[in-house]
């Protein structure tokens, strides 16, 4: 299983950041370029069990993905496909002085070592872009 970790400092409270990440009705605001929010799949848009459908480009082409919030705590959120197949993403938010540090870690399996090698760069770029967009949204509040 391969892993990509990215982080950013944000001038916002951890509660605000976790609220944005947890609320799937807000996810369209910080998806990276080439990814699209398609529709909610559950009546609940926030909290464990919430599901949305997105079109994401992890491999060579964009594919439809179901994203489900699996677990949440005081400073983290775990999400991925139902059943955790192929990848699992953990968002962690920690207070750091007047700012907060948001870390996103994705563990994934994609086409063996060669597939993971090529997918890693695309995933890293997507995670960085999501963090930068999340930062802009949170700091504008």
Per DSSP, what are the bridge partners of residue 103?
7, 92
| Token output for 26 | 């807000």
CA-closest candidate to residue 79, choices 42, 34, 113 = 42
pLDDT at 1: 84
pLDDT at 61: 84
- Residues 141, 134: Cα–Cα separation, whole Å: 11
The structural domain count of the chain equals 1
Domain hosting 102: range is: 2-140
pLDDT at 59: 74
pLDDT at 8: 98
Q: What is the band of 109 on the pLDDT scale with cuts at 50, 70, 90?
A: confident
- Which CATH number covers residue 132? 3.30.530.20
Q: What is the band of 75 on the pLDDT scale with cuts at 50, 70, 90?
A: very high
Provide the whole-model pTM.
0.92
């Amino acid at each position: 299983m391969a892993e990509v970790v990215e982080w950013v400092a944000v001038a916002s409270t951890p509660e605000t950041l976790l609220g944005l990440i947890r609320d799937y009705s807000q996810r369209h605001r910080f998806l990276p370029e080439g990814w699209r929010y398609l529709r909610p799949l559950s009546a609940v848009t926030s909290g464990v069990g919430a599901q949305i459908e997105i079109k994401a480009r992890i491999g060579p082409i964009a594919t439809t993905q179901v994203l489900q919030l699996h677990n949440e705590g005081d400073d983290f959120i775990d999400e991925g496909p139902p059943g955790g197949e192929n990848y699992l993403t953990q968002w962690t938010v920690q207070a750091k002085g007047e700012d907060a540090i948001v870390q996103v870690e994705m563990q994934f399996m994609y086409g063996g070592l060669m597939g993971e090698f090529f997918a890693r760069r695309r995933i890293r770029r997507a995670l960085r872009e999501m963090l930068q967009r999340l930062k802009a949204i949170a700091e504008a509040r």
